[in-house]
Structure 1
Amino acid sequence: MKLQIFISISLLFGIFSFSQNTIKGTISANNEPLSFVNVYLKELKKGAETNEKGIYEFTNVPNGSYTIIASYVGFKPERKKITILNEPNLTLNFNLMEDANVLNDVVVSGTLKPVSRMETPVPVEVYTTAFLKKNPTSNVFEALQNVNGVRPQLNCNICNTGDIHINGLEGPYTMVTIDGMPIVSSLSTVYGLSGIPNSLIDRIEIIKGPASSLYGSEAVGGLINIITKKPLNAPLFSADIFSTSWLETNVDLGFKSNISKKAVTLVGINYYTYNQPIDNNNDNFTDVTLQERISIFNKWNFDRKSNKEFTIAGRLFYEDRWGGEMQWNKTHRGGSEVYGESIYTKRVELLSKYQLPTTEDMYLSFSATAHDQNSVYGNTIYLANQKIAFGQYTWDKKAENHNLLLGAAFRYQYYNDNTTATISAEKTKIYSIFIQDEIKLAPKHTILLGARYDYNNNHGNIFTPRIAYKWNPTENDVFRINAGTGFRIVNLFTEEHAALTGSRDVVITEDLKPETSYNINFNYLKKIRFENGTFLGFETSAWYTYFNNQIIPDYDTNPNQIIYSNLNGYAQTIGISSNIDLVTPFGLKAIVGLTIMEPKNVQNGVSSTPVLTEKYSANWAITYDIPKWFLSIDYTGNAYGPMRLPLLSDLDPRSEYSNLWSLQNIQFTYKKFRNFELYGGVKNILNWTPNKGTPFLIARANDPFDEDVTYDTNGNVLATPNNPYALTFDPSYVYAPNQGIRGFLGIRYTIF
């Protein structure tokens, strides 16, 4: 009997001493379970993944102390330390926080419906607001400087207006949408991208290459889709306020309110001011435009019994900006005494999305915008008014091995200005129908076929097809091939200084055709998850773009005319770009991108390099977290290779090509306090500005009204002792900001 008791006690002791435990739990983000999350039990070197319900499990775990790491692309890795003793069912849950340095996994821009980034046949890059916070800016236009293959281009040294270049194509060929609605036009790109409160941006999705088969005109070179937050998911209140040593101040506020049981409203306010004239390059002109801007954004979400979507959003925008001679003030506006460029801009935007009360998945979307601009360039007045209305119907139909999207759209555009380039108000209508079928050929093979038919009142019929193929050899590898076309209807209006100077006649030499592009893109995406919790993502793309029927206004053939015609030739770009994303369990995270391309214009058999197009560029965002100090360090930057610059004459002494240049920034963020962040740092730490090594940036800055310029009988400028280079006043020799090194300091406060 004693022996039996001894044996039983020994067995029980052995069982408890070598007990095999189970650890399980749910991993979620924003109260939603995450599938395929990598979970790593460090001491035992065991790994697991969550299922479709976000649940993971480790079995046969001996008693002891362990470190468990949960990591998932797009979110910050989270680690927990536990001690386990005879617990057959220990529950350990994780709630992952979104990470700034890794691309989000769900996209909508490529196919007009939510889909996993690994599953979509169309390559889409995604950047969250957390990524934008790595280098705080007052507007989305500047924030895009850290995106690989995307470059904000300033077009004027004085007024600082600009546009967005994607893979070398100029700004008018980049379509900018908000929640998929085309309310940002080519006239107003820089204004439309200014003043969107960062607190209301959920993410920015970017497609490089033609997207006209889904989005129509202007999506020739690519698409930038700014997606705003859903009111239900937004924080109750957020504030982000910063100022720089140049006395630039940006205030970004957001708050939401439950108006009733069935309505939630989200309000965002952005205010920016800069009123300190600075002239560090000593040309008696402001280095940066002075601005005062306010933008109010309001989005409503309505709760319906059917749980179907219904949102309405609107934005009011006003900006007063000016640049010019240092002694300029508003009493000089429009006069010939002191040169200044003053722009008053008013914008109203409205957009809505309504899911129809049908058993099928159908949506009606609508947007409208009105843009009024009152500008003066010295003594030249530019008054412009543009209105755009857009409506779209889509039907998402799923069938066996097929995912169909059918749609119809209508776009109306009104434009009028007081320049000679616009003889009468332009009224453009585009009627569209489109279809897309995503076909599952096999478990690892998908093909997407799409086509769009547009009818334009000026150009008639326009057809834009697309095809895409995706192959997933493994769950962490994706090969894609995309081919498609893009188009842009003719827009003769312009805001270039040459068109605003003098009294030029408009000459159209032919029946103008829409500008068109053809593109093929090869893409490879690889994800690697290491046992220690490290994540490495690699994506590379190679592309070829052929562009014809370009319409470039000719101001040179006859100084008394603006001549419009389709380019007698073509443009092409061959390129390759790569992104590397790294997340480690010890606090280091990075995104590094490189783009190399070879652009070429061919006109009348003569080949040339296009102006303001770099042949290579690099971007990076590197973060290091030090948890014990509650500190994050962000090092961001870009570098651009030489680009051809616009010279005014054969005697112009300025360099035809820019040098290699780089803008680099560093930021320190302190996160000890709940819901509160303090951040500060230095922008342009190399103190680089484009005037270095250049005799001047603004041509004839000493004679902005061309009072001492002499012309021949044909209107050509003559070289004289007072004008040895035969130049006129011109601020278009610009490719980078004139701001040097400056510090910044800010605070963020959020209530969830």
Structure 2
Amino acid sequence: MKKIILYSIILIVNITLAQTGIKGRVTTESGEPLAFASVVLIEEKKGVDSNTNGEFEINDIEAGNYTIRISFIGFASKTEKLSVKKNEIKNIIIVLKESNILNEVTVTGTLKPVSRLETPVPVEVYTSAFLKKNPTPNVFEALQNVNGVRPQLNCNICNTGDIHINGLEGPYTMVTIDGMPIVSGLSTVYGLSGIPNSLIDRIEVVKGPASSLYGSEAVGGLINIITKNAITAPIVSADIFFTSWLENNIDIGTKYRLGKSTNALLGINYFNYNQPIDNNNDNFTDLTIQERISIFQKFDFNRKENRKMSLAGRYFYEDRWGGEKQWNKSYRGGNEIYGESIYTSRFELIGNYQLPVKENMNLAFSYTYHNQNSVYGDVLYLANQKIAFGQYTWDKKILNHDILLGSAFRYQYYNDNTTATDDAEKTKIYSVFLQDEIKLTENKSLLLGSRYDYNNNHGSIFTPRLAYKWKPNQNSVFRINAGTGFRVVNLFTEEHAALTGSRDVIITEDLKPEKSYNINLNYLTKVHFENGSVGIFDISSWYTFFNNQIIPDYDTNPNEIIYSNLEGYAQTLGLTANADFIFPFGLKSSFGITYLDSQINRDGVTSQPILTEKFSGTWNLAYEIPKWFLSIDYTGNIYGPMRLPLLSDLDPRPEYSPFWSIQNIQLTYKKWINFEVYGGVKNLLNWTPNKSSPFLIARANDPFDENVSYDGNGNVVATPDNPYALTFDPGYVYGPNQGFRMFLGLRYTLY
């Protein structure tokens, strides 16, 4: 018996000694263990979690060379090469550096690179990883989970839309690509859906006026889409997904070199949806039929002394239509079967050049060509827009002053076939701006900025701003921003409701530029908890007052949309808060809430603006399970009631929308090198706006108003066939008509 026990011990010892494997410990830079860190041996496709002491062990491997990858939420991932000999237990220590998202470099708030914690202007940053948590085929839909930002559909039929920031409509939001005003004017409504996610490195959001740096349109806020760098982008990337509604999206990207001094990035996006669905039974498509392609090409030129020079271009074409299910292109522009068909052809060019001088001087330019051929029933809308933009900036530090001086020129050509545009509109804006960030002490700074614009139609416009920043410690910052904004109006390029439906458009005067006055308070802090968790809290409050605001009047006459400068005032005030938590056991969460109080005072009567919610919220829960190579993302949003445009006192549809929420869940499997498989469900609750309304499209059975009766004053008369005294109108829309749907996708990335 003793011999058996002795032999057994010897055998166990031999087996133990003969093992080949890797063991180690994961720590922070200060030596604290990181529990539940993800450790993956890439070649063997094996993954484990570190224990509560940060220790891990991977056994039963062959001798050879391996790549080990260690990651932990809130820390920069680390990859190491190592060699393991036969019968060796390789012992390693991995030190991860904290990834401080407060030190992310932003450029949008001040037109120069600065960390998020140091910028005097609050900037929110959303990386390409954020876009993957709820995959969408374009930027318009991707922004649905950004707190205080709401993609607003403007038409139940063609599904065009714009972006609202803090309750202000799309024309008050400037959308730029690499800082250049690409999406504006005509493309405010029609161009957002054409920006593919594949070319995006990050999205920076500034809430509140930015007109003192960016000019007209940046009244409510700014969304700057920053494209990938051709040097650091993946060699090859592909993202393909489809949904149970038979939507198909393909993103393909690659980088390559041209000679020794040029890095190039090519991206192609294709989206197709060709399945007329009518779940709300009104004989109209719930989702617009779409086919579009976008081709993006970028060149980054390597120059002496690391001076920047880049050139990028994008071509975009889209064919979309919505309408009665039996519509086809043979009915286009006729009055037999109703359909809204939009052909969009668009070209963009963006360039940036750092001058070869000792000073930090940059030239940037952009050019866009946008051509649109549309029909809304039997109404033809042909529009053409060209925008040329050039900007010069000089950044100079003198003692405790960081000075930015710049000048810009913008030329816009616009023409269409409507009666509102007798001749082509040619608008020129000349601009100069100056910004001085003064470092008062080590933790306090003051920013003074102003911009002067001369518009050939409206004359001189002056927009100053002031910002104060105080850092009480290394992880907190308090900011005050105050300033003015202005917007030069391009009515028919921005207001889709002026073209669709049967309301007459009435413009009562020569429209003046809108002006706004804004103050914003912001507090941002990072907190370390005893259990190793990290919390980041971002709280802002603001107040905006408008002069000369142009708000479409749907209420005075149900058959008209009346446009004029507001005789009175408009104001919006609110509070927004974001909270991000990083837990040591693989869970990361983000929550955001926004409260709005928007008012319009017209002729002494105060009302809530159309399509402006008082409350909204967003959330994102992400959980990593490394041993299963699995991540889970649960995203969602919720919106409070908003006032909706009714057509008459007899209109049976609710005047206010209900509380509504869109929620999504996604599972991502990451076992294979370079590949990710993902799938999930969008709109888990199967919510659609028709569930709280007897109908969405007014008079869907009579889209050409052939059976509508009018009195001697042109007002609609209630009849047995039209008991609610309505005309055809698709503008009663506040949320997407797509209900529950599943999706499945594949990503491939090669660095």
User: Given the two structures, how large is their TM-score scaled by the length of structure 2?
Assistant: 0.88
What corresponds to 2:214 in structure 1? 215
Q: CA deviation at 1:556?
A: 7.0
The residue matched to 1:750 in structure 2 has which SS? strand
In the aligned structure 2, how far is the partner of 1:573 from the partner of 1:709?
39
Q: How do residues 347-386 of structure 1 correspond to structure 2 at under 5 angstroms?
A: 347-386=346-385
In the aligned structure 2, how far is the partner of 1:73 from the partner of 1:598?
37
CA-to-aligned-CA distance 1:552-582 (integer Å, 9 cap, x gap)? 3557767998754211011111100100011
The AA in structure 1 aligned to 2:379 is T
Q: How do residues 424-503 of structure 1 correspond to structure 2 at under 5 angstroms?
A: 424-494=423-493, 495-499=495-499
- Shift in alpha-carbon separation, 1:678–1:365, aligned structure 2, 3 A: same
What corresponds to 1:252 in structure 2? 251
- Shift in alpha-carbon separation, 1:594–1:560, aligned structure 2, 3 A: closer
Kept in 1, the 8 Å contact 2:501–2:729? The answer is: no
Match of 2:31 among 16, 41, 49: 41
What corresponds to 1:152 in structure 2? 151
The residue matched to 1:493 in structure 2 has which SS? helix
Kept in 2, the 8 Å contact 1:709–1:723? The answer is: yes
Kept in 2, the 8 Å contact 1:676–1:750? The answer is: yes
Kept in 1, the 8 Å contact 2:28–2:97? The answer is: no
The AA in structure 1 aligned to 2:243 is T
What corresponds to 1:739 in structure 2? 738
In the aligned structure 2, how far is the partner of 1:694 from the partner of 1:103?
44
The AA in structure 1 aligned to 2:29 is V
What corresponds to 1:121 in structure 2? 120
Number of aligned residues? 690
Q: CA deviation at 1:694?
A: 0.9
What corresponds to 2:86 in structure 1? none
What corresponds to 1:7 in structure 2? none
CA-to-aligned-CA distance 1:375-422 (integer Å, 9 cap, x gap)? 011111111111101000000101211111000000011111111222
- Shift in alpha-carbon separation, 1:284–1:559, aligned structure 2, 3 A: closer
The residue matched to 1:390 in structure 2 has which SS? strand
The AA in structure 2 aligned to 1:120 is T
The residue matched to 1:288 in structure 2 has which SS? coil
The residue matched to 1:113 in structure 2 has which SS? coil
* 2:543 paired with 1:547: no
Q: CA deviation at 1:307?
A: 1.9
The residue matched to 1:132 in structure 2 has which SS? helix
What corresponds to 1:699 in structure 2? 698
- Shift in alpha-carbon separation, 1:645–1:596, aligned structure 2, 3 A: same
The AA in structure 1 aligned to 2:158 is C
Aligned CA RMSD, in angstroms, stands at 2.7
What corresponds to 1:12 in structure 2? none
The AA in structure 2 aligned to 1:737 is P
What corresponds to 2:195 in structure 1? 196
What corresponds to 1:289 in structure 2? 288
Q: CA deviation at 1:77?
A: 6.7
- Shift in alpha-carbon separation, 1:561–1:169, aligned structure 2, 3 A: closer
CA-to-aligned-CA distance 1:672-716 (integer Å, 9 cap, x gap)? 111110000000000000000311000000000100001122221
What corresponds to 1:305 in structure 2? 304
What corresponds to 2:680 in structure 1? 681
Q: CA deviation at 1:512?
A: 3.2
Kept in 2, the 8 Å contact 1:600–1:607? The answer is: yes
Runs of 5+ in structure 2 lacking a partner?
1-24, 36-52, 57-68, 83-90
Kept in 1, the 8 Å contact 2:572–2:597? The answer is: yes
Kept in 2, the 8 Å contact 1:499–1:562? The answer is: no
Q: How do residues 519-530 of structure 1 correspond to structure 2 at under 5 angstroms?
A: 519-530=518-529
Kept in 1, the 8 Å contact 2:471–2:477? The answer is: yes
In the aligned structure 2, how far is the partner of 1:390 from the partner of 1:79?
43
Q: How do residues 53-72 of structure 1 correspond to structure 2 at under 5 angstroms?
A: 67=55
In the aligned structure 2, how far is the partner of 1:503 from the partner of 1:290?
25
Runs of 5+ in structure 1 lacking a partner?
1-24, 28-36, 46-64, 83-89
Kept in 2, the 8 Å contact 1:267–1:299? The answer is: yes
The residue matched to 1:194 in structure 2 has which SS? helix
In the aligned structure 1, how far is the partner of 2:140 from the partner of 2:226?
15
The residue matched to 2:144 in structure 1 has which SS? helix
- Shift in alpha-carbon separation, 1:252–1:98, aligned structure 2, 3 A: farther
Q: How do residues 537-686 of structure 1 correspond to structure 2 at under 5 angstroms?
A: 537-553=536-552, 564-686=563-685
- Shift in alpha-carbon separation, 1:422–1:95, aligned structure 2, 3 A: farther
Q: How do residues 1-16 of structure 1 correspond to structure 2 at under 5 angstroms?
A: none
In the aligned structure 2, how far is the partner of 1:243 from the partner of 1:44?
38
CA-to-aligned-CA distance 1:636-686 (integer Å, 9 cap, x gap)? 000000000000001000000000000000000000111110000000000
What corresponds to 2:138 in structure 1? 139
Q: CA deviation at 1:528?
A: 1.5
Kept in 1, the 8 Å contact 2:198–2:269? The answer is: no
In the aligned structure 1, how far is the partner of 2:73 from the partner of 2:524?
13
- Shift in alpha-carbon separation, 1:38–1:448, aligned structure 2, 3 A: farther
Kept in 2, the 8 Å contact 1:239–1:252? The answer is: yes
Q: CA deviation at 1:426?
A: 1.2
In the aligned structure 1, how far is the partner of 2:152 from the partner of 2:590?
22
* 2:180 paired with 1:181: yes
- Shift in alpha-carbon separation, 1:197–1:75, aligned structure 2, 3 A: farther
Kept in 2, the 8 Å contact 1:103–1:127? The answer is: no
Identity between Structure 1 and Structure 2 (%): 70
In the aligned structure 2, how far is the partner of 1:190 from the partner of 1:502?
19
The residue matched to 2:121 in structure 1 has which SS? coil
The AA in structure 2 aligned to 1:408 is S
The AA in structure 2 aligned to 1:310 is M
In the aligned structure 1, how far is the partner of 2:577 from the partner of 2:265?
37
What corresponds to 2:105 in structure 1? 106
- Shift in alpha-carbon separation, 1:244–1:598, aligned structure 2, 3 A: same
The residue matched to 1:442 in structure 2 has which SS? coil
* 2:233 paired with 1:234: yes
What corresponds to 1:32 in structure 2? none
The residue matched to 1:424 in structure 2 has which SS? coil
Q: CA deviation at 1:583?
A: 1.2
Q: CA deviation at 1:427?
A: 1.0
In the aligned structure 2, how far is the partner of 1:74 from the partner of 1:366?
37
The residue matched to 1:121 in structure 2 has which SS? coil
- Shift in alpha-carbon separation, 1:235–1:96, aligned structure 2, 3 A: farther
What corresponds to 1:721 in structure 2? 720
Kept in 2, the 8 Å contact 1:269–1:297? The answer is: yes
In the aligned structure 2, how far is the partner of 1:325 from the partner of 1:601?
36
User: Given the two structures, how large is their TM-score scaled by the length of structure 1?
Assistant: 0.88
CA-to-aligned-CA distance 1:405-461 (integer Å, 9 cap, x gap)? 000000011111111222221111000000001100001101100000000001111
The residue matched to 1:691 in structure 2 has which SS? helix
Q: How do residues 318-329 of structure 1 correspond to structure 2 at under 5 angstroms?
A: 318-329=317-328
In the aligned structure 1, how far is the partner of 2:97 from the partner of 2:730?
49
